[in-house]
Amino acid sequence: MHSRPRKAGAMTILFGTDFSAAATAAMRGAGAWARKLGEDVVCAHSVDIPDIAWAAAAEAPIAVGQWYEAQREHAQVRAALMVQELTHAGVRARAEILSGHPDEQLVDRARELKASCIAVGATGHRGIAAWRLGSTADRVSQKAELPVLVLRDPAPLEAWADGEPLKVMVALEADAASDAALRHAIELRRSAEIELVVAHVWWPPEHGEGAGLGATGDLKTRAALERDIEQGLRKRLVDRGVAEDEVKLRLVPGFGKPAEHLAQIATEEKAGLVLLGTHHRRGLARLWHGSVSRDALVGCPTNAMVVPS
């Protein structure tokens, strides 16, 4: 299959790769996303010189320089193979080799390209333990001013590119961040067929006290609260142009971390993509307030897209 001709005004996906097995699978997902939406793909790998190499450069700058050039040449070969595979799948693609910390370079290059999103694999060479502690995907989603597509499973996106609908779940809270995720889902629905699921996790004590009803231990009271919350959410959806019969609403009373309930809903709904809003809290604010989007991203059973508010 040959790559399609470039459409006027076609957007670009910046796909970051570390050439791991996870990144290879993620490339298929990024390619399917691009094929469905008529976008191009830039496969980018950033060669980062470790701190130890900078220290060694004072003693042997030539050796470090040779190592760096060898790394770039190796990356160029592997990136070219990825481009070849994407081109064969009918996607317009090219490779770029960057220099520096991958998360910083991807965010900066995406801004320069005016990319529609940054796509990365959920895990890479460092594995699940490092991902939970803060991977490139996590750091990019904290810094990027555009959506970040974190790819775990290419299969639902490939089926979508081949004509099947994609089930998209939006985690909807009462904030501007989740509003951004909802708007992104609505825009996506204008471009391609999706089945929309909206999930909201509510905490009974908080809502009960807000309504002057105490801890809401009574099941009848809790049911009434849930009806009120559902009516509010449906009105919010209608106000944004989503008719009641166009969306499935999942409302779950949750104790503990909301992210765990969201992951369970995504699994039950067999969602192929979960949309999460983010406030981009960093440092002490992130530690103090926590981050539902980050927790949900870590525990998400499928592909996820983090959308900045």
Query: pLDDT at residue 4 above 80?
Result: no
Give the pLDDT score at 89: 95
Is 108's pLDDT higher than 90?
yes
pLDDT score, position 267: 95
For 224-270, write each residue's pLDDT tens digit: 888 888 888 899 899 888 888 899 999 988 777 888 899 999 999 99
Q: Which domains does the chain have, with CATH numbers?
A: 12-151 (3.40.50.620), 165-308 (3.40.50.620)
Listed in sequence order, the DSSP H helices in 38-154 are 51-57, 61-88, 102-113, 127-134, 136-143
pLDDT digits (tens, 9 = 90+) for 21-38: 889 999 999 999 999 999
Contacts of 172 (CB under 8 A, 6+ apart): 178, 181, 182, 198, 199, 200, 233, 236
| CB 106 within 8 Å of CB 150 | no
Task: Please choose, from the candidates 215, 209, 191, 216, the residue with its C-alpha nearest in 3D space to the C-alpha of residue 117.
Answer: 191
With residues binned 3-state (H G I as helix, E B as strand, rest as coil), the percentages for the chain, rounded to 5, are 50, 20, 30
The backbone torsions φ and ψ at residue 306, rounded to the nearest 5 degrees and listed phi first, read -95, 125
Give pLDDT, residue 222.
72
Q: Place 281 in a pLDDT band, splitting at 50, 70 and 90.
A: low
The predicted-structure confidence for 42-69, as pLDDT tens digits, reads as follows 999 999 876 545 545 555 566 777 888 8
Of residues 9 and 117, more confidently modeled = 117
For residue 87, give every residue at least 6 positions away whose Cβ sits within 8 Å of its Cβ, in sequence order, or none: 2, 3, 93
Higher-confidence position of 108 and 67: 108
Do residues 23 and 124 make contact, with C-beta atoms less than 8 angstroms apart? yes
**Model's pTM, two decimal places?**
0.84
Q: Indicate the pairing of strand 303-308 with strand 148-151.
A: antiparallel
**Residue 305 in contact with residue 188, Cβ under 8 Å?**
no
Rounded to 5 degrees, φ, ψ at 96 are -140, 135
Residue 127 pLDDT level (bands cut at 50, 70, 90): very low
Average pLDDT value for the chain: 82
Cβ(136)–Cβ(164) below 8 Å? no
- pLDDT reading at 91 higher than 50: yes
Give residue-wise pLDDT tens across range 176-193: 788 899 999 999 998 899
Residue 201: Cβ within 10 Å count = 24
- For residue 135, CA distances in Å to 6, 73, 186, 223, 309 come to 33, 25, 29, 41, 22
